A = this chain, B = another copy of it.
């Protein structure tokens, strides 16, 4: 039997009844064909996950009454922040969805010289993050922050990994070259300097000036993600996977 559908609802959860939004009601009623008496799982990022029972459901709204708590809110281990230069709409939505599945605590858009910010709709990205959190069984939802500039990040940031990926990186496959960033593995394996976040550049890459600024920024750890050129959203997924493997909940050390 499939588990009950799962919803993020930013209300107190416990013995109370809750109201579902029109969108949630339509999804449950018209897509999933749920009826009064059916169960839904609800979380709010504070009170764990609760089983609720639908007491009314229609096209314009629904109500549910409390059942019991299924999961307690965990003290989540450290989770990474994804700093990303906004990219085109479809790959950016893939990026937000996958980053949420991979456990980021927050997504911070970073405006660079080659960033087209016309596509950045924080509310839309936030709703994708909510949906991905619902489906991935997370008990929290990552925050999509308003954009900052790359200079803001360089001036005032905890340690972060700088994935020097797209654009004008010389293509030196299967080898190395003088001055090239090390492969991500070794940097991520350095447990004495755990980075708090991961920075992914825009599709066009960082400009030479931006790269110079990042190279002298003490908080930035430059890495290469290997011999192939990855799209920005792929680079983000790969870098977050590495973060979780070496410091997070994919780690064999912490398991």
Contacts and interface: CB of A to CB of B under 8 A. Distances in A.
Interface of A: 2-3, 71, 74, 76-77, 94, 97-98, 101-103, 135-139, 168, 171, 173-174, 176, 182-186, 189, 225-231, 234, 237-238, 241-242, 244-245, 249-252, 255
20 contacts: A3-B171, A76-B174, A77-B174, A97-B231, A98-B234, A98-B237, A101-B234, A102-B228, A136-B228, A136-B230, A138-B228, A139-B173, A176-B255, A182-B255, A183-B250, A183-B252, A185-B250, A237-B241, A238-B241, A241-B242
A162 to B, nearest CB: 17
Contacts of A183: 250-252, 255
Main SS of chain A's interface residues? loop
A51 to B, nearest CB: 13
State the number of copies, please.
2
Contacts of A103: 226, 228
